[in-house]
Structure 1
């Protein structure tokens, strides 16, 4: 398997199943062994109690017959002592009489072993074996009995049924012994010891263990196959995501994982797909910025080339004394002055725009009265408007002088002057320009040539310039600077314009201390 994760998952799953199987198998075998032995004990106890009960009945019947014979002999003239001895003899020989009634000791013992289906001993209270089964071929005496024989017989003569495994060494095979009391009336007259080899139990345990091992082996094999299938199913989407990320690393931002799952893997795949979309957008944005950079260099080169060429041509003409007329010389000087002024404006605008686009550039933020700022801007714009006989009209509500904002006074003044300068530049002679303030919004509106609908999205781009005659001296950076100042002050700017009807710029402020 080339898939390392799938291999690890398969190994981990298989090891977990193996460990689980060993634990379950050990617990099962322990419980199975205990249950098998318990059932064997219950079955032996039933047989021993049944046989002991039968023997107790036979002894009681034999004693009754002996008493009858004893009474008859007494009536025949025996002395009182002889009659009493007969009764004792009848009680003592109850077991023997019963066995003789059954056809003799040997035949009864053989018959009893067949009934019990096990080796049966009968022991009296002094541990004297009255009968012995066929599991041992030698004569057993008191010294041969195991150490716990006394305790077993003692408990039996106390009327309890008990178990022992101590006779195994004597019988030369692992044996389970159950002792049951043999009673004559209410008295215990003997102990029945039923010996049963536990070899059959161990064989049953071995068979059970074999069946369990086969079952566990089959289950492990099936589980291994299932684990391989599950590991492959689990790692298949991971492989897709890996291939997608490799494609993304190569620059193919259109690569998708194709994984549709409602789980953590599905969420990860969705995140990778979102990342690919973002990278695709970033790639286009990077291309756009690169194009803007090239356009900027081309534009700035073009804007610099014209005044530099004019200044150089004028200087060469003057140095070569091509021009000798004093009036022409003055015209050349005036032209060079105008071109140098344009260059100065261009350089200043570029510096301002660069500073404003730099996040580290700090502005002097302070609380400003918007009414005072607007009146200052209008006074400065009056001189520009006077050259075209344009009237600046103001409509300020009574809250305007009291509206305060947080900003850089110089930069905000520069922003408004840029817009007013454009409004005056593109307005006809003797027209009106309105400056209003209402609902925290400053509006500058003119009736100039307006802006074409397709040009509106680009008016804040650097070096954007309309082809109008009025804009021949513009640098194309004024509106870009105004937009940067507005953005640094979180001022929302909106523009409405219609060709030949005019343009309106709206600046939406957040006053920090409005009236009321």
Structure 2
């Protein structure tokens, strides 16, 4: 069981873009291809449209055919009825010859029935009728009774007499006094309608075949335009999976596919940027461990050397031993300070770390700082000048962290200032609370300004030989945690100015809260 699990895990680990591409090819059966789906949907749409349109057309054609045939039968029946009216009035006997003549010239009816109305006061003479009323099937009773009533009647249904669908029309024949003395019935098969429907079906079937062929061609062209950019994007995605972040789709379209292609190209740019950032972070991480190792190796080596000398009895004089102890203590304090700075920096860089803020008066902060800074600058005879445009400068923050941040800048200002110079501190309130700390020191090279906030960055000046290179990095993180900014302006041999900006609160706002 464990071997199977290990085998599955190894298979998942070994999955590469080439394996993914092979799986895609195996899954790309015909029925899974986009072209097939496009064609199938298009063909079904065409076929459904042909069926619906054909059904509607057949219904309309059938109705039109019946109406046309009925109108023709009525027209011919009325002509015959008019002629028989003359036969009745003139008492002619050659009506049967007339019917034979009509059949010869192409009357559309298969049967022409001339019936006498037994209910009339002067019925039609039986010599000019074609068949007695009793011989007519009852299924035609509605037609001839309607005609006897003086109306044009119509019937279309299956005929038991003929054994197929028929159309029958009935037209009255009037005598001398206008009385209906008989009726003309025309019967015909619905073969013409059947043939028309058959022709229509054939036409619809042929149209469907042609439409499917046309849809196949259209689907090929459409699917090619659709699939080609998708294939290009798939290839680009596989190249991105191989970390070839310079790959681009090269697709310039104004539709949704173009939007997707531009999104992939945007992704490649972001991946390239992230790759650069990742490499920089890896380099920074390596530099960080190298710097930590370097910073710790020197004091550890010194402590070890003095310890070995004391243990081996190489140093016997008490004064020399005391110097060793003092040196060892100094190196331990240096290591302690370095470890403490690393812990503070790690805490500040943690996005989950939140500084507990409360209203802080920066005037009090700098009054506290000035005592320390003036003491630190005594040996170099450096004076400190504070310019504050308000007695109370309030902001939300952590008193100790703010003091630490400003003290780091002031310490550097003293370290790099010339003797008998001045450090100028200015606190002004505008849109933001602006704090400026400016010295008259050696200045910073222009190309170094972008690196001074990096961890373990130290200039090559002798004044910075004992520094850890973490002070400015910590100061920047404290400023960021307080929602502020820090800027640096420097000129060689003139001095350096650090400018902080923070949101401030007025005394009125504090009272309202």
- TM-score range normalised by the length of the shorter chain: 0.7 to 0.9
Does the 8 Å CA contact 2:116/2:133 hold for their aligned counterparts? no
- Aligned to 2:161, what secondary structure does the other structure show? helix
1:163-207 CA-to-partner distances (Å, cap 9, x unmatched) read 113583323443211111112353222111112221122112211
Q: Within 5 Å, give how 1:439-458 maps onto structure 2.
A: 439=430, 440-458=433-451
Q: Within 5 Å, give how 1:171-190 maps onto structure 2.
A: 171-184=162-175, 185-190=177-182
Match of 1:300 in 2: 292
Instruction: Kindly state the Cα deviation for residue 274 of structure 1 after the two structures are TM-superposed.
Output: 0.9
Instruction: Kindly state the Cα deviation for residue 143 of structure 1 after the two structures are TM-superposed.
Output: 5.1
Does the 8 Å CA contact 1:253/1:277 hold for their aligned counterparts? yes
For 1:50 and 1:142, locate their aligned partners in 2 and report how far apart those are by CA, in whole Å. Answer: 22
Match of 1:501 in 2: 494
Match of 2:148 in 1: 157
Does the 8 Å CA contact 2:354/2:481 hold for their aligned counterparts? no
Match of 1:4 in 2: 33
For 2:158 and 2:319, locate their aligned partners in 1 and report how far apart those are by CA, in whole Å. Answer: 146
Match of 1:397 in 2: 389
Does the 8 Å CA contact 1:241/1:269 hold for their aligned counterparts? yes
For 2:194 and 2:81, locate their aligned partners in 1 and report how far apart those are by CA, in whole Å. Answer: 27
- Check 1:172–1:317 CA distance in 2 against 1; reply closer, same or farther (3 A cut): closer
- The correspondence for 1:428, drawn from 396, 418, 425, is 418
For 1:272 and 1:238, locate their aligned partners in 2 and report how far apart those are by CA, in whole Å. Answer: 11
Listed as ranges, the gaps of 5+ residues in structure 2 are: 1-28
Does the 8 Å CA contact 2:116/2:132 hold for their aligned counterparts? no
For 2:446 and 2:276, locate their aligned partners in 1 and report how far apart those are by CA, in whole Å. Answer: 24
For 2:220 and 2:498, locate their aligned partners in 1 and report how far apart those are by CA, in whole Å. Answer: 68
For 1:126 and 1:225, locate their aligned partners in 2 and report how far apart those are by CA, in whole Å. Answer: 71
1:417 aligns with 2:407: yes
For 2:409 and 2:173, locate their aligned partners in 1 and report how far apart those are by CA, in whole Å. Answer: 125
Does the 8 Å CA contact 1:122/1:130 hold for their aligned counterparts? no
- Aligned to 2:184, what secondary structure does the other structure show? strand
Match of 2:26 in 1: none
Instruction: Kindly state the Cα deviation for residue 132 of structure 1 after the two structures are TM-superposed.
Output: 6.9
For 2:58 and 2:108, locate their aligned partners in 1 and report how far apart those are by CA, in whole Å. Answer: 27
- The correspondence for 1:108, drawn from 94, 98, 102, is 98
Instruction: Kindly state the Cα deviation for residue 515 of structure 1 after the two structures are TM-superposed.
Output: 7.2
1:88-121 CA-to-partner distances (Å, cap 9, x unmatched) read xxxxxxxxx22x2xxx354222123335342211
- Aligned to 2:284, what secondary structure does the other structure show? helix
For 1:453 and 1:247, locate their aligned partners in 2 and report how far apart those are by CA, in whole Å. Answer: 41
For 1:131 and 1:383, locate their aligned partners in 2 and report how far apart those are by CA, in whole Å. Answer: 149
Match of 1:461 in 2: 454
Listed as ranges, the gaps of 5+ residues in structure 1 are: 63-96, 134-139
For 1:50 and 1:378, locate their aligned partners in 2 and report how far apart those are by CA, in whole Å. Answer: 130
Does the 8 Å CA contact 2:39/2:215 hold for their aligned counterparts? no
Q: Within 5 Å, give how 1:124-135 maps onto structure 2.
A: 124-126=116-118
| TM-score, structure 2 as length reference | 0.86
Q: Within 5 Å, give how 1:355-394 maps onto structure 2.
A: 355-394=347-386
Does the 8 Å CA contact 2:436/2:500 hold for their aligned counterparts? yes
Instruction: Kindly state the Cα deviation for residue 372 of structure 1 after the two structures are TM-superposed.
Output: 1.9
- Check 1:49–1:376 CA distance in 2 against 1; reply closer, same or farther (3 A cut): farther
For 2:371 and 2:58, locate their aligned partners in 1 and report how far apart those are by CA, in whole Å. Answer: 103
- Aligned to 1:174, what secondary structure does the other structure show? strand
Instruction: Kindly state the Cα deviation for residue 58 of structure 1 after the two structures are TM-superposed.
Output: 4.1
For 2:349 and 2:358, locate their aligned partners in 1 and report how far apart those are by CA, in whole Å. Answer: 20
Structure ID, larger Rg: 1
Match of 1:22 in 2: 51
For 2:500 and 2:311, locate their aligned partners in 1 and report how far apart those are by CA, in whole Å. Answer: 51
For 1:511 and 1:201, locate their aligned partners in 2 and report how far apart those are by CA, in whole Å. Answer: 95
Match of 1:237 in 2: 229
CA RMSD between the two structures: 2.1
- Check 1:469–1:167 CA distance in 2 against 1; reply closer, same or farther (3 A cut): closer
For 1:457 and 1:32, locate their aligned partners in 2 and report how far apart those are by CA, in whole Å. Answer: 87
| TM-score, structure 1 as length reference | 0.86
For 1:143 and 1:170, locate their aligned partners in 2 and report how far apart those are by CA, in whole Å. Answer: 14
- The correspondence for 1:270, drawn from 262, 265, 269, is 262
For 2:459 and 2:166, locate their aligned partners in 1 and report how far apart those are by CA, in whole Å. Answer: 115
Match of 1:74 in 2: none
For 1:189 and 1:370, locate their aligned partners in 2 and report how far apart those are by CA, in whole Å. Answer: 127
For 2:203 and 2:322, locate their aligned partners in 1 and report how far apart those are by CA, in whole Å. Answer: 119
- Check 1:144–1:255 CA distance in 2 against 1; reply closer, same or farther (3 A cut): farther
Does the 8 Å CA contact 1:123/1:130 hold for their aligned counterparts? no
- Aligned to 1:226, what secondary structure does the other structure show? helix
- Check 1:130–1:164 CA distance in 2 against 1; reply closer, same or farther (3 A cut): farther
